[in-house]
Amino acid sequence: MCFSILQVPRCRIHTLANFCWGSSHSLNRTCDKIFRFRLLGSKANCLEGGYSKRWIKRPASTKTGGSSRTNQESKSTTIGHEILDETVSTRSTLSINKTEVSEFHRIPYCDIQQMIAQNKDITKFLTFIVFDIETTGFSRENERIIEIAFQDLQGGENSTFQTLVNPGRHVANSHIHNITTHMVCRSDVPRMEELIPILLQYVKSRQKPGGYVIFVAHNARTFDVPFLVNEFSRCHFEIPPNWLFVDTLPLARELLKLEGLKLTSGTSLDALCKRYNIQFVGKAHRAMADVTALSLVLQRLTFDLKLPLSGLIAKHFTPSDLTSVKKKK
């Protein structure tokens, strides 16, 4: 499956078409040996309240400990939890070194704006990940994330990542996503502080050396990203500086405006799926189903807006942009 190709004659314009769903990237290649969880085979049981497709119940273990580089004393604890993923067909191992996590902030990254200006092959430095979260409510201050899904648009092995998250509290809005307290408030479902190192390592396994990761979500600016930033902060982690975010909601608004339609015509993910005749795989308002749908909506939106890759990247924002907006007020 490929993104639509937008081409301008005699101009070299990079588009999402460059990110095809087929290349392979093994988690095994980039891992160390301190934190560890396992993604098991794909033929497993369906999850309670999950998808109609082959959702996988994956027992996993996480080893936490000190740095192998500094030879500090290592304390290992095993945390059983379930990682839900639909695409991994072979047994693979992802290990995480906590020192390595802290070094995310020391990697020198390329100047993306300069590369666009110089028309360099920016696709060599970019990873596009569509993501979605399910939460216990709307308030980033008071509510918690209970499910996260990532999909690397490059495709290939391990291109999707999905997990439930233990919020340590009652889930009052199960009627929205069908995720119940019983499903997440369990010792074998990871808490956010346990999950973040795994997420960081997963994303690192997908990114290119010295490159940026573009995270795309619907209403990312006012919901998903502030939630993510808040959870990282609460768990004493920082969003890596090479993580950039793009919100598809303004793209949808821009398109309706271009077509002379009122915004009340619908800019929700549901409305966009109906517009493009995209069917949800599984139930809407489950993270992976929404991610899959948004991945398809994204290619249609960029096609309709005639938006080249550089134009999409130009719409990015960072967590510090959100902070500066807050400070101004």
Partner DNA sequence: GGCCCTCTTTAGGGCCTT
| Residue listed under structure tokens 């549901």 | 270
Which member of 70, 114, 264, 277 binds DNA (CB under 7 A)?
Answer: 264
Query: 80 pairs with which residues across the strands?
Result: 61
- Look at phi and psi of residue 49 and say left if phi exceeds 0, alpha if psi is from -120 to 50, else beta: left
Which member of 43, 236, 262, 277 binds DNA (CB under 7 A)?
Answer: 262
- Determine whether 236 is an active site residue: no
Pairing of strands 92-96, 35-39: antiparallel
Q: Residue 205 or residue 267: which is nearer to DNA going by CB?
A: 267
Query: Mask of contacts with DNA, 149-188, x by CB under 7 A?
Result: ------------------------x--xx-----------
Sign of CA dihedral 130, 135, 138, 140: negative
Q: Distance between CA atoms of 168 and 298, rounded to whole angstroms? A: 34
Query: Mask of contacts with DNA, 103-142, x by CB under 7 A?
Result: -----------------------------xxxx-xx----
Backbone angles phi, psi at 212, to 5 degrees: -105, 155
Among candidate residues 25, 218, 285, 316, the one labeled active-site is: 285
Query: 159 pairs with which residues across the strands?
Result: none
CB of 320 to DNA, least distance (A): 13
Q: Distance between CA atoms of 93 and 86, rounded to whole angstroms? A: 16
Which member of 266, 303, 316, 318 binds DNA (CB under 7 A)?
Answer: 266
Q: Residue 149 or residue 199: which is nearer to DNA going by CB?
A: 149
Which member of 34, 153, 249, 288 binds DNA (CB under 7 A)?
Answer: 249
Query: Which of 44-52, 62-70, 195-203, 218-226 is the region at the interface with DNA (rule: CB under 7 A)?
Result: 218-226
Pairing of strands 92-96, 78-84: unpaired
Q: First CA to last CA across the chain, in angstroms? A: 44
CA geometry: angle 91, 96, 101, nearest 5 deg: 145
CB of 63 to DNA, least distance (A): 30
Q: Which residues bind DNA (CB under 7 A)?
A: 132-135, 137-138, 173, 176-177, 218-219, 221-223, 249-250, 253, 257, 262-264, 266-271, 285, 290, 322, 325-326, 329
